[in-house]
């Protein structure tokens, strides 16, 4: 997706925010909503990484507390020609990961403990390369701002439900308030998905090129998708507006997969990676040796001590 199209979609979210404000308070409400939207964007720009990481209980790790994981991130960041991002772990059994930050110089990569426990080193390399691709494409800022505005629209729509019903002339009334409460968050969600789903394909493609082996990422996506349907992510359930930031939708309610999914279907993503694998077949990939495998008979993560200490 081009940056122009992304800008149009973000403008649509802001316009929707102003529309909700207008329904609540007329032209004055629209102006107030615009000011709130601008303030929300500024807040998200400077605090997106800390805000999202805090929502998911992520803790920063380093070369002493998670040597294998941090080494792998550093090697892949070097291949992607990116500054070393901060590295975080979330104590969560569901395998998943996301990246955040306003630019590559202020970026962070976060993975769940379930991800490190369930994937091979090669599969994990594919996942981290995907997240680094989001950083390189500056997706992390766009997706975090989108999540912030979408969450704010839902909140102000619920406020309008209570406030609008008590207005005699200017408010939307009970029926209008109910429609606003339902349709405004729904419209915000659709715009949010339109931004997210295309960017996932782009990050899959670039991530596969960073690690050099598209099928490592394809294998990881299948494993994560299967586990996400079985293992709940309670932090994500409490903050659903951040679901599109994860490599696979962390939410349990994924029945309506086509229109209302925050991600493309895993089958389609794997199909694209298989096609890319055919193109990149002659090239070498990222090996366990270059990632600094620990060996010692404990598997790729030296699980006798655990990669996160």
Over the stretch 128-155, which tens digit does the pLDDT of each residue have?
999 999 999 988 877 766 666 666 666 6
What's residue 53's pLDDT?
92
Q: Among residues of the chain, what percentage have pLDDT more than 70?
A: 64
What is residue 297's predicted lDDT score, i.e. its pLDDT? 31
118 within 8 A of 94, measured Cβ to Cβ: no
pLDDT tens digits, one per residue of 206-230: 999 999 999 999 999 999 999 998 9
CA distance 24 to 185: 15
Angle at 120 between CA 305 and CA 238, to 5 degrees: 80
Q: Classify 163 as helix, strand or coil.
A: helix
pLDDT tens track for 90-134:
999 999 999 998 889 999 999 999 999 999 999 999 999 999 999
Cα angle 87-198-267, degrees, rounded to a multiple of 5: 90
How much is the average pLDDT of 275-292? 67
Q: What is the pLDDT of residue 51?
A: 82
Average pLDDT, rounded, for the chain: 78
Task: Find the catalytic residue in 60, 122, 123, 131.
Answer: 131
For the question of residue 131 being annotated catalytic, the response is yes
The token pair that represents 263 in the structure block: 């991600």
Q: Is 112 left (phi over 0), alpha (psi -120 to 50) or beta?
A: beta
Beta bridge partners of 97: 111
Query: Considering just the CA atoms, what is the radius of gyration of the chain in Å?
Result: 21
Q: What percent of the chain has pLDDT over 90?
A: 44
pLDDT tens readout for residues 144-196? 666 666 666 666 666 655 555 444 445 555 555 555 566 666 666 666 566 66
Tally the C-alpha atoms within 13 A of residue 80's C-alpha that lie toward its C-beta.
Answer: 31
């Amino acid at each position: 997706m081009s940056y122009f199209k992304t800008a149009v979609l973000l403008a649509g979210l802001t316009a929707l925010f102003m529309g909700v404000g207008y329904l609540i308070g007329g032209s004055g409400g629209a102006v107030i909503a615009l000011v709130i939207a601008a303030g929300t964007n500024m807040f998200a720009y400077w605090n997106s990484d800390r805000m999202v990481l805090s929502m998911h209980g992520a803790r920063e790790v380093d070369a002493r507390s998670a040597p294998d994981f941090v080494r792998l991130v550093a090697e892949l960041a070097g291949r992607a020609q990116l500054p070393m991002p901060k590295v975080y772990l979330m104590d969560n059994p569901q395998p998943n990961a996301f990246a955040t930050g306003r630019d590559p110089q202020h970026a962070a990569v976060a993975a769940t403990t379930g991800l490190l426990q369930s994937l091979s080193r090669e599969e994990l390399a594919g996942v981290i390369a995907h997240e680094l691709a989001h950083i390189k494409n500056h997706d992390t800022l766009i997706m975090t701002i989108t999540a912030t505005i979408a969450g704010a629209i839902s909140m102000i729509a619920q406020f309008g439900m209570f406030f609008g019903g008590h207005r005699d002339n200017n408010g939307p009334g009970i029926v209008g308030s109910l429609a606003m409460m339902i349709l405004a968050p729904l419209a915000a969600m659709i715009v949010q998905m339109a931004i997210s789903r295309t960017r996932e394909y782009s990050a899959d493609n670039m991530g596969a090129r960073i690690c050099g082996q598209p099928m490592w990422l394809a294998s990881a996506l299948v494993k994560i998708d299967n586990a996400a349907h079985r293992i709940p992510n309670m932090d994500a359930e409490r903050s659903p507006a951040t679901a599109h930031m994860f490599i696979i939708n962390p939410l349990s309610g994924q029945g309506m997969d086509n229109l209302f999914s925050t991600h493309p279907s895993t089958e389609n993503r794997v199909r694209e990676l298989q096609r890319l694998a055919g193109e990149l077949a002659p090239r070498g990939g990222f090996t366990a040796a270059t990632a600094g495998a620990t060996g010692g008979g404990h598997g790729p993560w030296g699980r006798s001590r655990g990669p996160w200490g």
